[in-house]
Amino acid sequence: MTPLQNDTFLRACLRQPTDYTPVWMMRQAGRYLPEYRATRAKAGSFLDLCMSPELATEVTLQPLERFPLDAAILFSDILTVPGAMDLGLRFAEGEGPVFERPVRSAADVDRLFVPDPEGELRYVMDAVRSIRRALNGRVPLIGFAGSPWTLATYMVEGGGSKEFARIKGMLYGEPATLARLLDLLARSVTAYLNAQVAAGAQALMIFDTWGGVLTPRDYRNFSLNYMAQIVSGLTREAEGRRVPVILFTKGGGQWLETMAEAGADVLGVDWTTELGDARRRVGHKVALQGNMDPSVLYADPERIRAEVHYILDSFGPGSGHVFNLGHGIHQHVEPEHAAAFVAAVHELSRAYHR
């Protein structure tokens, strides 16, 4: 593999010295970019775009052509793993993901299987290999997966949800059935992420989008424990260097101390937690990623710059911070505002690394 020209992101993940704070954006290859919209139209559908290694490579690199980002992230979807379990996944226009055969009973769980990353999910591994070749050492490539709890919410609900009635009904009414589902998903995600590393991913991120809807006790038992199971089974060295693991629970700021014990190198933090407080709470156990409110990008560049400075100041001097948004970039953000955000991080952060 081609040597990395810019490893600032990887060093920050491991709390090693850097010249500036690296930055990338969750959902950085997305609908806010006109070139992405053109490629998606060419693909025909979101799922077709995800399943084409050539087009997935194209859109992964699009934001890097516009902005001097410090990492690329695989273009895919968190639902690829359950989508490979013969549940009839489709993405309905205006509705989001839908599973035609949701998982509602112990018998439904019995029919599930761990997908083969080089079989049912070969298209993702081919995309990872293709993206690494296309990056040619420019910046590291982040692979990712959804957390078992988050994947289970979609599988049991049959799609997106606001109330999570079915999955919480299973949690409280049939906890043993849910535990079997989560264990199968943990084993599936572990195999999937390790295959991404074998294919060329240089860092990994676990997205726990819906962990924040749980009680503290249920978060530990039904989300964090299974993410810790995944982390313990991951490949942590490849190509002669550490493969950092980022753990992100949206709405999980109240549990940072517990999350820091899960074995990840980095904790993602959303905008509802003060970054300086998060740093004091986790100490030197992990690096932190985040955490600007994505809505700030609707503001003018000077306001964006001011918010970047506030967050850098909150974290304080030293390494161990990967700048990011507190969640994915919104589809109606102007690309010029994203450019102003990246430029502000690179310029203003150098004063914190002397």
Note the Cα 172 to chain centre separation in Å: 28
Please tell me the distance from the alpha carbon of residue 231 to that of residue 210, in angstroms, as a whole number: 18
Q: Is 72 helix (H, G, I), strand (E, B) or coil?
A: strand
- Tell me the angle at which helices 148-157 and 175-199 cross, rounded to the nearest 10 degrees: 120
* b/e 119-138 (16+ beta carbons within 10 angstroms → b): ebbeebbbbbbbbbebbeeb
**Residue positions annotated with a catalytic role:** 27, 31, 40, 77, 154
3-state secondary structure of 244: coil
Q: Distance between CA 240 and CA 234 in Å, rounded?
A: 16
Distance between CA 298 and CA 307 in Å, rounded?
A: 12
Q: Sign of dihedral through CA atoms 13, 132, 78, 81?
A: negative
Q: Residue 235, class by beta-carbon neighbours within 10 Å (0-12 exposed, 13-18 middle, 19+ buried)?
A: middle
88: left (phi over 0), alpha (psi -120 to 50) or beta: left
**DSSP SS3 for 22:** coil
CA 281/CA 257 separation, integer angstroms: 6
